[in-house]
Amino acid sequence: MTTRRDFLKNTMLLSAGLTVGGVNLNAAGQKRVSGANRRINLACVGIGNRGGEILNEFDKTGLANIVALCDVDMGAPHTQANMAKFPSARQFKDFRVMFDKMGNEIEAVVVGVPDHAHFPICMMAMALGKHVYVEKPMARTFYEIELLMEMARKNNKLVTQVGNQGHSEANYFQFKAWKEAGIIKDVTAITAHMNSPRRWHGWDTNIRKFPDKEAVPATLDWDTWLMSVPYHDYNKDFHLGQWRCWYDFGLGALGDWGAHILDTAHEFLDLGLPTEVNALKLDGHNDYFFPMSSTLQFKFPKRGNMPAVDVTWYDGVNNIPSVPEGYGVSEIDPNIPPVGGGKIQPAKLNPGKIIYSKELTFKGGSHGSTLSIIPEEKAKAMASKLPEVPKSPSNHFANFLLACAGEEKTRSPFAIAGPLCQLFSLGVIAQRLNAKLQFDRQTKRITNNPFADALLAGTPPRKEWQEFYMIK
């Protein structure tokens, strides 16, 4: 386990190293994208399954020139199909080799790999002066996210974007307009919920060890897939989306869907980091993978003239939160995509949120879904007071590329998405330890549990990956 002293030492080395050469790299990056209305040279790391979907979304914008494709399993059917669409793009299994071979040809990097692998790729890309788009959450541990934010601050000419796509859709622009108009104010509580089935439902929660070793698929570079995480023997249940289930690789339902449900409330209510995280319910708690269902409470203090807020998160098919009178029905919303890896499966509630303020109550969904005032009678009474909501000038993918060209600013840069992702990492620590956490927002330390505090940094990276945490 990384000690606090070791981590602070590494952080100081990192901070010292970040300033070296930063100006020249940034200037070169700006020069490469100075031509307006041209395509950005894009490298995509992770091109199967969700990574492949992201790759194709960027291609649809017409603003990207796909110059490199990288995946640890270039021989798999799900990667082969995407490779065939971009025959002129160079192909790599290891992102480090990709940067060595053609770094000067790459302007921006898209990272669509498992949570545990986000950090090294993003750090290397930014160190080389590349703009970065990374799927949510930004990274797996609190301090990996902290270091990514620090790297972005040090290289502030670089464009960053985190893939919570609702931040470029109606959900974002409505919440912003309603907050600025005083419709959303004095919020005191938020209920957030994701009650659709998860991949690991039905697994044995009495697990006492990791799954048995299996043969690694012939085309898969398993060692590079693991990256900085301590070595695990290959098992199919670590791979192809199953990684989301395990504490060692992902951030569970909270990290997967929280960024699509809580993103606008977190930004526009200036929630930042909590002072307390309570694990209220953990059904099927174990030391290896996420519970069957969880109820987590996050407490946020007063912020300026805004009152303290309690955010309560519910996941699990049998862990449905209560809803207020006049809530109405919860039909399948076309703006909410199906749970990754499966079909849309109706649940008692769609993934979404209920926002309680002193005067009004709002219900909303996930991703691009907009809020509505409840009950209906109250909504009708408020209709004439609601401001006009502007339309989005660009989707999340185009927004990133236009920002690379200096024409827009990203709506979910590391500075905004980072604290939200850190919130999820704190929730996962509470899940993992089945514990109440007291958190100091100023020092960014867990003050009541030394072991939980150590988990902010997590286990030390494997030797060959230490350089990503100690840039000299």
Q: Under 8 Å CB-to-CB from 288, ≥6 apart: which residues?
A: 207, 210, 246, 247
- Does pLDDT of 109 surpass 70? yes
Pair (144, 104) in one structural domain: yes
The mean per-residue pLDDT over the stretch 157-173 comes to 96
pLDDT bracket for residue 332 (50, 70, 90): low
Query: Are 268 and 190 within 8 A, CB to CB?
Result: no
In a domain, 459, yes or no: no
Residue 231, both tokens: 């070595």
- Give the end-to-end CA distance of the chain in Å, rounded to a whole number: 23
Residue 66, CA distances (Å) to 39, 43, 79, 203 in order: 9, 6, 15, 40
Task: Flag whether pLDDT at 8 surpasses 60.
Answer: no
Q: Are residues 28 and 154 in the same domain?
A: yes
Please give the average per-residue pLDDT across 152-177, as a whole number: 96
Question: Which of 88, 100, 145 shows the shortest CA–CA distance to 119?
Answer: 145
Spatial neighbors of 405 by CB under 8 A, at least 6 apart, are 33, 35, 36, 37, 38, 40, 63
pLDDT band at 335; cut points 50, 70, 90: low
Look-up of token digits 């069957």: 292
Amino acid sitting at position 352: G
Q: How far apart are CA 70 and CA 246, in angstroms?
A: 24
In total, how many domains does the chain have? 2
Phi, psi values for residue 262, rounded to 5°: -105, 0
- Dump pLDDT digits (tens) for 413-458: 999 999 999 999 999 999 999 999 999 999 999 999 999 999 999 9
266 phi and psi angles, rounded to 5 deg: -65, -45
Write down the pLDDT at residue 119: 97
**Domain-embedded: residue 439:** no
Model confidence band, residue 339 (pLDDT cutoffs 50, 70, 90): low
Predicted confidence at residue 471, as pLDDT, reads 52
The residue-averaged pLDDT of 29-53 equals 76
Domain coverage including residue 314: 169-203+243-390
Query: Are 129 and 270 members of one domain?
Result: no
Same domain, residue pair 187 and 111? no
Residue 33 confidence (pLDDT) above 90: no
* Residues 79 and 142 grouped into a single domain: yes
Q: Residue 288, exposed/middle/buried by CB under 10 A (0-12, 13-18, 19+)?
A: middle
Given a cut of 90, whether residue 300 has pLDDT beyond it is yes
Residue 89 belongs to some domain of the structure: yes
Q: What is the CATH number for 30? A: 3.40.50.720
pLDDT at 199: 77
Say what the pTM is. Answer: 0.90
Residue carrying structure tokens 């990097």: 109
H, E, C per residue of the chain: CCCHHHHHHHHHHHHHHHCCCHHHHHHHHHHHCCCCCCCEEEEEECCCCHHHHHHHHHHHCCCEEEEEEECCCCCCHHHHHHHHHCCCCEEECCHHHHHHHHHHHCCEEEECCCHHHHHHHHHHHHHCCCEEEECCCCCCCHHHHHHHHHHHHHCCCCCEEECCHHHHCHHHHHHHHHHHCCCCCCEEEEEEEECCCCCCCCCCCCCCCCCCCCCCCCCCCHHHHHCCCCCCCCCHHHCCCHHHHECCCCCHHHHHHHHHHCHHHHHHCCCCCCCEEEEEEEECCCCCECCCEEEEEEEECCECCECCEEEEEEECCCCCCCCCCCCCCCCCCCCCCCCCCCCCCCCCCCCEEEEEECCCEEEECCCCCCCEEECHHHHHHHHHHCCCCCCCCCCHHHHHHHHHCCCCCCCCCHHHHHHHHHHHHHHHHHHHHCCCEEEECCCCEECCCHHHHHCCCCCCCCHHHHHHCCCC
Beta-bridged to residue 303, according to DSSP, are 306
Q: pLDDT at residue 85 above 70?
A: yes
The answer to whether residue 432 sits within a structural domain is: no
Instruction: Band the pLDDT of 328: cuts 50, 70, 90.
Output: confident
| Residue 188 within any structural domain of the chain | yes
pLDDT of residue 38: 81
Residue 195 has pLDDT above 80, yes or no: yes
Asked if 138 and 279 sit in the same domain, the reply is no
- 136 & 258 share domain: no
Percent of the chain with pLDDT over 70: 88
pLDDT at 64: 98
Per-residue pLDDT for 13 more than 90?
no
132 and 280 belong to one structural domain: no
Answer whether 93's CB lies under 8 Å from 68's CB: no
CA dist 300 and 199 (Å) reads 31
- According to the model, what pLDDT value does residue 106 have? 98
The stretch 295-303 carries a mean pLDDT of: 98
The answer to whether residue 448 sits within a structural domain is: no
Per-residue pLDDT tens digits for 369-384: 999 999 999 999 999 9
Query: What is residue 338's predicted lDDT score, i.e. its pLDDT?
Result: 62
Q: Which residues contact 291 (CB under 8 A, 6 or more apart)?
A: 205, 282, 283, 284, 285, 316, 431
Question: What CATH number is given to the structural domain containing 175?
Answer: 3.30.360
Give the model's pLDDT for residue 203.
87
105 with 195, same domain: the answer is: no
User: Does residue 325 fall inside a structural domain?
Assistant: yes
- 126 shares a domain with 18: yes
Specify whether the CB–CB gap between 330 and 350 falls below 8 A: yes
Domain membership of residue 234 (yes or no) is no
- 8 and 156: one domain? yes
pLDDT at 95: 97
> What CA–CA distance (Å, rounded) separates 324 from 327?
6
- Mean pLDDT for the chain overall: 89
